[in-house]
Structure 1
């Protein structure tokens, strides 16, 4: 499969996954599990497949978040809710959100979930801890929950590869966010606030990029845009091979597209993830 398809299907599977962050059903499930506040819910729910890991593990695998933001939630999260109890609730809550937002999701899931599960099974977990942890979870019997779980595993597969490329370019989590904002993916204020970086830290990174010729007047230079484009292209290339198992990848894309488009009111645009609105 080529890199272009990998990017296009990411734009479709990412919104299906992302209800877990934005839908009220999912936030309620985190509270019911015992997690306190949005950020403990976010870190605890997303990290649960890894087990009761340390803050350092979350910092390394999630990437881009200020260490202090992570450490206010982890490892305290595991004192309020075990990973096992979180996992019992998070997929079911996402399935409820998907059914509410797109009533036709049931028929889509019956067909698409097994196919995406084949893609997950075909993907290599080496060097991809978040993907591997999600891949090893049991496949839910509920087709909509199974669809959500497959999209979650695949977006983490892509994300793990992306993090490897960012670190390979010598970028830390703050710099990765600054670069994304500099090329116009997400407004700087949105990324700075959501990832927990102070104005002073952000300004220091901008100054460092300016000295390196990656930014000028707060925007990416040609050199900065080329760096970002190279990382994105390589991310797409690394994400593409598992989709080779699909006999008709276009049909899978087209079956998921209406559901992703229906989620336009569930997910804010622009968002810190950087995924555009479907269509």
Structure 2
């Protein structure tokens, strides 16, 4: 049975967060700061709640990038703009994107009501062990409804992501192996997933290591043990995310779902 945390976060709130990576407007606002390529702006704006930390810290928290990818952008990204400026540009671009996608629904009472409840949920989650989420919690909550909803969705998405890293570490799955696991979970070939730029040689080494551990078969697909490991990781991720939603009353869940579903349907119909 699908957990409430997975249903609300991944299906109904994460679509609002994803404009940060999939829409043009955030890229344009970051480019206006001086970030000429996607990845420096990505690493700057996503890690900005942590301040000007070294690449090693960002790499540990973001977890599944290829060796050297973070260091190619951090700390040099801070020569372009401050963390505060990167955060402001990211939020501005994401709100612009959501307003374009949602049209008149952006100013609806349903969105404002969903934003307020989502913020309440997002601020109730535990911070222990959730480093990126804790950084985001230190930021002021926007007052404008679209920005509030995007901010709440981002908080909950990164809270879940921090918990997912905890689950991966507990199962002994490193960042590059997590890339392979994520691809196979979505029925994709790891080379086609494209989340990180592993060379063919390095990807082969990673997959061979998973075969040696009995988690992948000769064809590069999950073995029974591999699928069970991935299912445990997802179940642990759900369990670690659950406290944020624990105080929701049944009527609040129904209201939040009712308010978010038409908005998400619009996002899915229009695209990013």
Q: Could you say which TM-score interval applies, normalised by the shorter chain?
A: over 0.9
Does the 8 Å contact 2:126/2:243 carry over to 1? Answer: no
The number of residues matched between the two structures is 265
Secondary structure of residue in 2 paired with 1:102: helix
**Normalized against structure 1, the TM-score is what?**
0.90
Does the 8 Å contact 2:115/2:149 carry over to 1? Answer: yes
Query: Per the alignment, do residues 266 and 42 of structure 1 end up closer, same or farther by CA in structure 2, a change over 3 Å counting?
Result: farther
Number of the residue aligned with 1:64: 64
Does the 8 Å contact 2:111/2:259 carry over to 1? Answer: no
What is the CA RMSD across the aligned residues, in angstroms?
Answer: 1.6
Once the two structures are superposed, the pairs formed by residues 1-279 of structure 1 within 5 Å of their partners are 4-9=3-8, 10-103=10-103, 104-107=105-108, 108-191=110-193, 193-216=194-217, 217-247=219-249, 248-264=252-268, 265-267=270-272
Residues 170-194 of structure 1, C-alpha deviation per residue, up to 9 Å, x if partnerless?
Answer: 1110011112223345441233x33
Secondary structure of residue in 1 paired with 2:18: helix
**Normalized against structure 2, the TM-score is what?**
0.92
Residues 185-211 of structure 1, C-alpha deviation per residue, up to 9 Å, x if partnerless?
Answer: 5441233x3312111111111111112
Secondary structure of residue in 1 paired with 2:141: coil
Does the 8 Å contact 1:128/1:160 carry over to 2? Answer: yes
Distance 1:45 1:175 in 2: 25
Show structure 1 runs of 5+ residues with no match: 268-279
Show structure 2 runs of 5+ residues with no match: none
Residues 108-157 of structure 1, C-alpha deviation per residue, up to 9 Å, x if partnerless?
Answer: 33111111111122111111011111122101121101110010000000
